[in-house]
Amino acid sequence: MREVPKILAAAAVLLASAACAGKKPAAGASKASPGASAEPHAHAKLEPRSGSQVEGSADFVERDGKVTLTLSVSGLTPGEHAFHLHEKGDCSAPDATSAGGHWNPTAEGHGKWGTHPFHRGDVANLVADGSGHATLTFTTDLWSIGGDPTRDLVGHALVVHAKPDDFTTQPTGNAGGRVACGVIRK
């Protein structure tokens, strides 16, 4: 757990201050720079599902027409794990099936990012180290925070799976159970 990153701490602070709703308390205003506050951002707090102890944090920031995802997950079994953006921003089910299928605004088949067909929620497999921790940074101009519904990731869910995505099996990648889920909120 010594590696649990600043991102988690930052997310906790944001949650504690209810800043995720978009309005920061006046007390914190002096810290924000004009440039940083102008960049659209969103995040998802990943909570355990399917009896796992997997948790984590996903942060999204949009800059110059590109969105960068910074993802940090702990409590995984070592090795590869699929994650996807799923259609419904609903993680309420104990097995996260409430999040529906993969986010697929362009009505393509499931696959591997960058090689059509692929869902806009098909990114890559996470690789967890021996302590069950995985991080990933990913940037794309096919996502946005707000705006065009074929690109806007807000209101969808980020789901981490028990197994790797094979990038072939339709429409799921045969990635197994859903071990963590978080709704992407502005």
Site for Cu ion, rule CB under 5 A: 84, 159
Helix (H) or strand (E) holding 144: none
Residue 42: alpha-carbon gap to chain centroid: 10
* In the complex, least distance from residue 126 CB atom to Cu ion, rounded to whole angstroms: 12
Integer Cα distance of 82 and 3 in angstroms: 21
Looking only at Cα atoms, what is the longest distance across the chain? 50
Measured from the CB atom, the residue of 43 and 119 that comes closer to Zn ion is 119
**Considering CB distances under 5 to 8 angstroms, the limit depending on partner class, which of Zn ion, Cu ion, none binds residue 43?**
none
Nearer to Zn ion, 119 or 133 (CB): 119
Nearer to Cu ion, 146 or 155 (CB): 155
* DSSP string of 90-126, one letter each residue: ---STTSGGG-SB--TT-----BTTBSS--TTEEEEE
Q: What is the contact surface with Zn ion in residues (CB under 5 A)? A: 102, 110, 119, 122
Pick one of Cu ion, Zn ion, none as the site partner of residue 58 (Cβ within 5 to 8 A by kind). Answer: none
Minimum distance from CB of 159 to Cu ion (Å)?
4
Which residue's CB is nearer to Zn ion, number 110 or number 133?
Answer: 110
Beta-bridged to residue 50, according to DSSP, are none
Side chain identity, residue 164: P
Contact 140/124 with Cβ under 8 angstroms? no
Residue 119 binds which entry of Zn ion, Cu ion, none, CB below 5-8 Å type-dependent = Zn ion
The least distance separating Cu ion from the CB of residue 93, rounded to whole angstroms, comes to 13
- Least Cβ distance, residue 101 to Zn ion (angstroms): 8
